[in-house]
């Protein structure tokens, strides 16, 4: 009785191959850390400018209107406080009187990219 089997040849990496791979990974790691630091600095700049602005601003998710952030000027203008507003939808939180009003604004943003000089009626602060 004959038994046959196949033998596969595997190339084992050399020490030089492993050193090159380590160098590549270290370079990749440095690049990642540099990009991460640049992102952190950019986010910090945005945060400081956003919160120092005298113009009232609120950031919401376009998909469902969830409030992500709002600045002090927005609170001063509208009476909506930051902490209770975060995580609320802009309709349930009272920012928009109705979902139809919010949808009209979203449509303008989607079709025109922005809207300017538009009067917006906010809901009442409870």
pLDDT band at residue 12 under the 50/70/90 scheme: confident
The answer to whether the beta carbons of residues 104 and 121 sit under 8 Å apart is no
DSSP 89: B
Assess whether 65 and 111 both reside in one domain: yes
Question: Could you tell me if residue 121 is inside a domain?
Answer: no
Q: Phi and psi at residue 67, in whole multiples of 5°?
A: -75, 120
* 124 in any annotated domain: no
**Long-range pairs for 3-8 at CB < 8 Å and ≥24 separation?**
none
| Counted domains in the chain | 2
Domain region containing 23: 15-52
Q: Which has the minimum average pLDDT: 18-22, 63-67, 118-122?
A: 118-122
Residues 108 and 59 in one domain: yes
Same domain, 58 and 46: no
pTM of this prediction?
A: 0.68
74 and 26 in a common domain: no
């Amino acid at each position: 009785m004959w038994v046959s089997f196949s033998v596969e040849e595997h190339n084992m990496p050399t020490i030089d191959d492993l050193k090159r791979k380590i160098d590549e990974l270290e370079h990749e790691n440095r690049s990642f850390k540099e990009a991460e630091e640049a992102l952190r600095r950019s986010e910090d700049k945005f945060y400081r400018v956003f919160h120092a602005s005298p113009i009232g601003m609120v950031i919401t998710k376009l998909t469902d209107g969830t409030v992500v952030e709002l600045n002090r000027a927005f609170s001063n203008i509208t009476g909506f406080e930051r902490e209770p507003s975060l995580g609320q939808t802009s309709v349930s939180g009272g920012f928009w009187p109705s979902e139809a009003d919010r949808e009209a604004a979203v449509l303008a943003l989607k079709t025109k990219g922005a809207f300017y000089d538009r009067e917006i009626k906010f809901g009442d602060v409870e």
